[in-house]
Amino acid sequence: MTNLLLDGLLVEPKEHPYEISIINDEDLMAFNLTENIDDICEIDIIKISTSVCIIRNKYAVLNQKSANRKIKNIIIAGNFYIAGINNQGKLTSLTKKQKEKYITKFWETETYTDDEIIEIYLDSLFDM
């Protein structure tokens, strides 16, 4: 059985991460990661450790969302969630220790040059 609510973090551009309950439903995640009904959205899960992942809108940059944080040589645009992930690839809640670690890791906000942001756009176009 899948847990409907997950304890995780939300990271917004130019903001500090904060704790949030995430509804464990791909359609609702997609809805919450877009601001406009016309936004293109495809949920993308990127594992950042053996038991933690980020959940992002793969095409946020095409929706002209602000650059947020750099993770694994990818500049993530728009909001993203941080959640746990188990060995079977199922999303789980973060532990208290994981929350503390990733709040600290993403505490500092990041800014990017226009050239770096253009590179995001080009990478996302070739990724479609």
Domain boundaries, position 25: 5-127
Residue-wise over 59-77: b if at least 16 C-beta within 10 A, else e? bbbbbebebbbebeeebbb
Average pLDDT, the chain: 87
Residue 127 has pLDDT above 70, yes or no: no
Question: Based on the structure, what is the number of domains in the chain?
Answer: 1
CA–CA separation, 105 vs 87, rounded Å?
Answer: 23
Is the pLDDT reported for residue 65 higher than 80? yes
121, pLDDT greater than 70: no
User: With bands split at pLDDT 50, 70 and 90, how would you rate the model's confidence at 1?
Assistant: very low
Q: Which of 104, 98, 112, 95 is nearest to 17 (CA)?
A: 104
